[in-house]
Amino acid sequence: MPEITLTQDPVHLRHGSNIGRPLTRRDGLLKVTGAARYAADNNPKGLLHAVVAVSTVARGRVVALDVEAAMAHPGVVEVMTPANRPALAGDPDAKPNPLVFRLDLLQSDRVRYAGQPIALVVAETLEAATEGAVLLAPRYESEPPAVGLDDGERFVPTAVGPGAPAELRHGDVEAGLAAAAQAIEATYETPPQYHNPMEPHAVVARWDGDRLTLDTPSQAMAMARLRLAALFGIPPENILIRSPFLGGGFGCKGLLSGPQVLGVMAARLVGRPVKLALTRAQLYGPVGHRSPTRQRLRLGADGEGRLTALEHHTLMSSSRFDEFFEPASNASHALYASPAIATLHEAVRLDCGTPMFMRAPGEAPGSAALESAVDEMAEACGLDPLEFRLRNYAEVEPTTGRPFSSKALRECYARGAERFGWERRPLAPRSLRDEHGLLVGWGVGTAIFPALMFEAEARAVIRRDGGGTVEIGACDMGQGAWTALAQIAADAVGLDGERVEFRSGSSDLPDGGIAGGSAHTATAGSAIHSAGAAVVARLAELAMADERSPLFGAGNAGVVARDGRLHRRDDESRSEGYAEILERAGLAEVEARGKGAMDAAAQQRYAMQAHGAVFAEVKVDPDLGQVRVTRLVGAFAAGRIINPRMVVSQYYGGMIWGVSFALHEQAVMDRRSGRPMNADLAGYHIPVNADLPALETILVEEEDPHVNALGIKGVGEIGITGTVGAIANAVWHATGVRVRQFPITLDRLLG
Amino acid sequence: MRYEAPETLDAAVALLAGESGLAKVLAGGTDLLVQLRSGMIEPALVVDIKRIAETRRIQEESGGFRIGAAVSGAEMGEHAGLKAAWPGVVEAVELIGSTQVQGRATAAGNLCNASPAADSVPALVAAGATARIVGPGGSRELPVEAVAAGPGRTSLGRGEIVASLFLPARGAGQGDAYLRFIPRTEMDIAVVGAGVCLTLDGDGRCTRARVALGAVGPRVILAEAAAAALVGTTLDEAALDALAEAASAAATPIDDKRGTADFRRRVAGVLARRTAVIARDRAKGAAA
């Protein structure tokens, strides 16, 4: 491993041996033995069970609830409705910033979407609460809902995603199209999708006076704590959130959802601990989804197959009462060089729950459409789709001219293509068959995902016993954060991993930021790295100022921390152990805090993106249109890799999301009721192991000196980008049929 | 809700006949429990038949097999004799659900759930299986295709239950097969299912055929014109084409979220053809 140069203080260096190792999950044993305690596994003394009753209409008013019948059911303790719910200190419909979403917390009888909580039944048993919720037998005054993208008035949102401009124009698209030798226009559609983590949202809430303890899965504990503090009018320090494990999140546990808060309200109302766990069906409404999109792409290319114009227009939806706009067109910002690029968004308002960040928000549907369109453009130019992509390789960020902080996409293309055997691909579609007569097709897609960072803080301690502790309120949602961050922590304090106690997963630790935006390792890792640097610097100061230390006077030469010792940088034979330094100083321990955040100056100067290339093989039954992905090879370059085993798993996961997006996932909406007709995993398909091919990933080395001190980009979501397009393009190559509606289903393929 | 687990068929019949409210029979429960949990039904009485000895066994009878109503799919799959004689039926039963579901789900339950997409039913119909129905009026045998009356409805009267299914002796030169079409690989409901059972003479000429189609009508369809397209032929390409065409023509599907009617008609033909080829090859093996 190369030395890690600290941007904060180049005098004090550490020498890492933990980062880069393919360690297995630290929590693996807990999970495979069932010992990992998830939120709903907690059963504090005196616990009551709450079941939420949800609306079956999408728009209207609740005009009657049979509270008496529910209360009369044996075991039912309380029914919480707008009439008796505890008062809140903060308005759940207030919108102080774009990352605070409006919550339905029984403030009125109004129904804004199907699946909205309209009451909550608290009982001694789950069964009694469930029966009580049925006995409420709600009646509604309902109005016809707006359900599809053609049902609403179009408008241009003020911002898309987490605050990006809805429109960006670079160069003259019309002139580029007019000058093009070849031009295409194509419209792609993606359906509403629901996050569907394995673990439905659950909360176990307990009040002690004005102190609140809750077990609930969260991808961002500190933000959840602030929201709860505002809603209940108590200081954030009074709230303890424990979220050691998440059974997946995919974005729907990023921000606190309404039902989680309802559990807290119920606990306050009844004065006892309350557990509320959503059912699978109840995940289709109040916890977010991905909006459907209709994306129109217009591309032009010159006689050499170089883009002259790229316009990406997305129509998507938000709820009638809040703002989240899937930023799909922005997938075209930084990928292909073109003198003219326009990315545009329009939205309609539907009677649905508010859409939310989900598995590469924007990038996933945007990449699906862009990569399909680029393939269609390559076909129009008579070029191999990979060659077309190379001819349009963006050496700098096309819309700004900024250089990339690092970009090893060419190597991704080359290594992926070699591994896949791309050079043997015939140009013409429908020209490959396997030994059983199935049509075979090969496709490629480029993966891209921004290297984001949020803000986080960590605390590092080095003790006189020679061990250390690193604390950060980070979130392991299954991605392996506990493992990778602990590796960073060990290097940060210059100790072997076994000697560092890594504490995480609870809101009383320093704010670990958000496990989202593929930014958790970079952000939390940077905070840990800074905290480690700071604590090592304290130790170094002690040693260098002490004439009894072999490091006395190291001064400008500096020291290196390694294996629990500080070494003089210019003479490594002169060293001293942490324990001795602290012993002599008469200290039990030293501690320091550090922060992780984006370097704003670097961000101004450089475009920061992770890249990759995904190659797909599909086989299609010519009579039935049945599609099977038979091979997927993904080569990704995402800066420094902390734990290759975890990263490969995340790439696999992302690529599986891609298979899901391309071929399986869609919520089918009932146009009359506004309800999804397939609100369960029997009807809402995600691929199972039997649907997946052998996956292969290639980790392409990439050193990035600009993104952050550790050189980390994100790996969590990039796998879905590129993959969807690669599969769609492979289906076209197999069949000669271009399906522009996702998922690619058999009826669409057979026309 | 009252739960009873009698030990004789007579007791089960008496319980069911004596209930004035909704009464349901519990065999494997893989449909019933889901319906209960999701609130689709609220029976007054559930009669568990798993403690009745004769529902729990597979018995050879007149060269064929009598399969008790509470025999699970896994047990059918483990029965070598049954599997050798009626591979198509056993494969169809084994397509129901997952490994875990296989430990509970029963063919009789699949039949009585009366889903048009039930996997085992087209194979049973093609095989010429019968159901033994016991009730207050005694016992009767009914061709399996007469059990379902429509989606979720059976022709059984009050107090009647299916006690067992009977698969006749497999004849010389006879072979059966079942194929199901779903978009994904496992764990899905049939878009179309096709069961074919046919008999070949010593010259490889088809003397008898039964073709049944699932999920393309309110009930499983016994496609007689499709079967007729095979009889008298050696199952050459022309005969298989005629079979496919007749199967598509026999299908009366609807559009739903699993597939359009047009697509289903097309798949019915393709699937019937592919199933017939497997049945033919099995019949040839049996004749040899």
Domain map (residue ranges) of chain A: 1-15+402-452+598-751, 39-144+196-283, 152-194+289-384, 456-597
Catalytic residues of A: 717
Confidence (pLDDT) at B246: 98
Closest chain B residue to the Cα of A682, Cα to Cα:
B188
Residue-wise DSSP of A367-398: HHHHHHHHHHHHHHHT--HHHHHHHTB-SB-T
Give residue A556's pLDDT.
76
Q: Is A396 exposed, middle or buried (0-12, 13-18, 19+ CB in 10 A)?
A: middle
The pLDDT value recorded for residue A2 is 31
Q: Where do we find the tokens 């930084």?
A: A334
Q: Residue B87's closest CA among B171, B173, B178, B164?
A: B178
* pLDDT band (50, 70, 90) for residue A747: confident
pLDDT of residue B287: 56
Q: Is A690 on the interface with B (CB under 8 A)?
A: yes
At the top level of CATH, which class does the domain A456-597 belong to?
alpha beta
Q: List A residues 582-641 in contact with B (Cβ-Cβ < 8 A).
A: 623-624, 626, 628
* C-alpha to C-alpha distances, B92 to A42, A363, A495, nearest whole angstrom: 42, 42, 60
- Contact residues, chain B, for A748 at CB < 8 Å: none
B93, amino acid identity: V
Residue A54: which of A143, A130, A125 has the closest Cα?
A130
Taking residue B229's Cβ as centre, other Cβ atoms within 10 Å add up to 26
Is the distance from CB of B49 to CB of B12 less than 8 angstroms?
yes
> Which has the closest alpha carbon to A534: A589, A592, A464?
A592
CATH number of B51-167: 3.30.465.10
Residue whose C-alpha is closest to residue A128's, from A10, A212, A49, A37: A49
Residues 6+ apart with CB under 8 A from A541: none
Question: What is the end-to-end Cα distance of chain A in Å, rounded?
Answer: 55
pLDDT value for A584: 94
Measured CA to CA, the distance from residue A585 to residue B87 in angstroms comes to 81
Which among A623, A677, A691 is the nearest to B257, CB-wise?
Answer: A677
Residue A454 has pLDDT above 70, yes or no: yes
Reference A378, options A443, A462, A320, A434; nearest CA is: A443
- Residue A553: partners with Cβ closer than 8 Å, 6 or more residues away: A544, A547
Distance CA B222, CA B214 (A): 9
Distance CA B151, CA B153 (A): 6
pLDDT, tens digit, 9 for 90 and up, residues A517-564: 999 999 999 999 999 999 999 999 999 999 999 999 888 788 999 999
Domains A1-15+402-452+598-751 and A152-194+289-384 share a fold: yes
Query: Hey, what are A145's tokens?
Result: 């809902």
Search chain B and give the residue with CA nearest A668.
B257
CATH architecture of the region B174-287: 2-Layer Sandwich (3.30)
Separation between Cα atoms, residue A499 and residue A509, nearest integer Å: 20
Question: Average pLDDT, whole number, for chain A?
Answer: 95
pLDDT of residue A16: 56
Determine if the peptide bond prior to B183 is cis (ω within 30°): no
CB within 8 A of A14, min separation 6: which ones? A3, A4, A6, A491, A492, A493, A494, A532, A533, A536, A560, A561, A562
Q: Among A419, A474, A488, which Cα is nearest to A634's? A: A419
Distance CA A138, CA A63 (A): 7
Size of interface A-B (CB pairs under 8 A): 43
For A666, the closest chain B residue by CA position comes to B257
Distance from CA of B257 to the nearest CA of A (A): 7
SS3 (DSSP) at A619: strand
Report the CATH number of the A152-194+289-384 domain.
Answer: 3.30.365.10
Per-residue pLDDT of A362-378, as tens digits, reads: 999 999 999 999 999 99
Burial class (CB in 10 A: 0-12, 13-18, 19+), A353: buried
* Chain-centroid distance, C-alpha A537: 34
CA separation for the pair B7, B127 (Å, rounded): 30
Any A CB within 8 A of B277 CB: no
Determine the straight-line distance between the first and last CA of chain B, rounded to whole angstroms.
Answer: 56
DSSP A2: P
- Is B267 close to A683, i.e. CB distance below 8 A? no
* CA-closest candidate to residue A578, choices A605, A538, A617: A538
d(CA A73, CA B27): 30
Query: In the prediction, which pLDDT does A1 show?
Result: 31
Q: How far is CA A74 from CA A78, A80, A123, A124, A132, in A?
A: 11, 17, 9, 9, 9
Q: Does A110 touch chain B (CB under 8 A)?
A: no
Contact A746 B262 (CB under 8 A): no
How many CA atoms within 13 Å lie on the side-chain side of A749? Answer: 29
**Which percentage of chain A shows pLDDT scores above 90?**
95
Name which of A409, A380, A405, A383 is nearest A394 in CA terms.
A409
pLDDT in tens, A10-65: 344 555 568 999 999 999 999 999 999 999 999 999 999 999 999 999 999 999 99
pLDDT digits (tens, 9 = 90+) for A269-313: 999 999 999 999 999 999 999 999 999 999 999 999 999 999 999
- pLDDT per residue rounded down to tens, chain B (288 residues): 999 999 999 999 999 999 999 999 999 999 999 999 888 999 999 999 999 999 999 999 999 999 999 999 999 999 999 999 999 999 999 999 999 999 999 999 999 999 999 999 999 999 999 999 999 999 999 999 999 999 999 999 999 999 999 999 999 999 999 999 998 888 889 999 999 999 999 999 999 999 999 999 999 999 999 999 999 999 999 999 999 999 999 999 999 878 889 999 999 999 999 999 999 999 998 654
pLDDT (0 to 100) of residue A316: 98
- Nearest-by-CA chain A residue for B260: A747
Alpha-carbon distance values, B31 to A420, A657, B43, B132 (Å): 44, 30, 14, 21
pLDDT tens, A462-475? 999 999 999 999 99
Q: What is the DSSP letter of A662?
A: I
The answer to whether residue A325 scores a pLDDT higher than 60 is yes
Rounded to whole angstroms, the Cα distance separating A285 from A58 reads: 10
* H or E element at residue A61: strand A60-64
Q: If 0-12 CB within 10 Å is exposed, 13-18 middle and 19+ buried, where does residue A532 land?
A: buried
Contact B263 A750 (CB under 8 A): yes
Give yes or no for A148 touching B (CB within 8 A).
no
Q: So where are chain B's domains? A: 51-167, 174-287
Contact present, A218 and A261 (Cβ < 8 Å): no
Note whether B28 contacts A: Cβ–Cβ < 8 A. Answer: no
Q: Find out if CATH 3.30.450.40 is the number for domain A39-144+196-283.
A: no
Which residues in B lie closer than 8 A to residue A663 (C-beta atoms)?
183-184
Report chain B residues whose CB lies below 8 A from the CB of A690. Answer: 184-187
pLDDT, residue B256, reads: 86
Which chain B residue's Cα is nearest to A686?
B184
- Interface contact A668, partner B, CB < 8 A: yes
Vertex A51: Cα angle to A46 and A54 (nearest 5): 160
Q: Are the CB atoms for A377 and A177 separated by under 8 Å?
A: no
Give the per-residue pLDDT at A290: 98
Q: How far apart are alpha carbons B69 and B107 in whole angstroms? A: 7
Complex confidence, ipTM: 0.90
Region of B19 (left: φ > 0; alpha: ψ -120 to 50; beta: rest) is beta
Q: Which CATH number fits domain A1-15+402-452+598-751: 3.40.50.11540, 3.40.50.720, 3.30.365.10, 3.40.605.10?
A: 3.30.365.10
Query: φ and ψ at B76, to 5 degrees?
Result: -65, -40
The pLDDT, as a whole number, for residue B286 is 67
Distances (CA, A) of A727 to A582, A615, A621, A631, A732: 59, 8, 15, 10, 9
Q: Which residues from chain A sit within 8 angstroms of residue B186, using beta carbons?
A: 688, 690-691
Domains B51-167 and B174-287 in one fold: no
- Say if residues A592 and A529 touch (Cβ distance below 8 Å): no
Using one digit for the tens of pLDDT, what is the confidence trace for A215-274? 999 999 999 999 999 999 999 999 999 999 999 999 999 999 999 999 999 999 999 999
Token output for A627: 């599609």
